[in-house]
Amino acid sequence: MPSLRTHALFLFVPVLAGCATSSQLVEDSLTAPAAIAAVGLGQVRFDYSQWTNKDDKEVATAKQNEAAWAKALGDAFLARANKRGLGGVDNRTKVDITIVDLEPGSRAARYFVGFGAGSGVITAKVDAEGHGTFRMNGKITGGAWGGNFVNVMEELGQSIADHFAERAGK
């Protein structure tokens, strides 16, 4: 018979695990990426008209969290861009990021079941002024209390900046 300590450890492991997020490039139409010497953040916005699942509850949750999610994505993008050498003040390419789809999955399933159950996905379209576009997905598969989309937005922002840096040879 497992002890109380064993049960307590089992229950709190998901809390201590941190957020499991990842990003994946799904389409790249950048032109002349080596010419991108520096990036600047234009707009981070949500385009709900493109979402595949327009569940009223999910859209309401996204609208309620939109400002915090957009700030997390933008701040992470700029911080990583600066770290990767794309933070110059001259000749900045304006980058607009639009969230074109979001499927939040089930936070309860991520917390209680784990192993990929309840995964959530977000799709961002990134427009580099004068250099084309690309799309990137962010995914959440678990984390403390089932994870949250602030962490997904931060991971996605960092991955977007990393993609620019890699394509620019930095």
pLDDT tens, position by position, 116-170:
555 678 899 999 999 999 999 988 765 544 457 788 899 999 999 999 999 998 8
Between residues 138 and 105, the one the model is more confident about = 138
Between residues 115 and 138, the one the model is more confident about = 138
pLDDT tens, position by position, 37-88:
999 999 999 999 999 877 888 888 889 999 999 999 999 999 999 999 998 8
Please count the other Cβ atoms lying within 10 Å of the Cβ belonging to residue 38. Answer: 17
Q: How high is the pLDDT of residue 112?
A: 55
C-beta separation of 39 from 88 below 8 A: no
Distance between CA 119 and CA 140 in Å, rounded? Answer: 6
Q: Give me the domain span that covers residue 77.
A: 4-167
- Distance from the Cα of residue 55 to its chain's centroid: 20
Q: What is the number of structural domains in the chain?
A: 1
Instruction: Give me the residue label for tokens 């209680």.
Output: 112
Identify each DSSP E strand in the chain by its residue range: 20-30, 38-46, 92-103, 120-128, 132-142
Distance between CA 132 and CA 66 in Å, rounded? Answer: 25
Across the chain, which distance is largest between two alpha carbons, in Å?
67
Please count the other Cβ atoms lying within 10 Å of the Cβ belonging to residue 158. Answer: 21
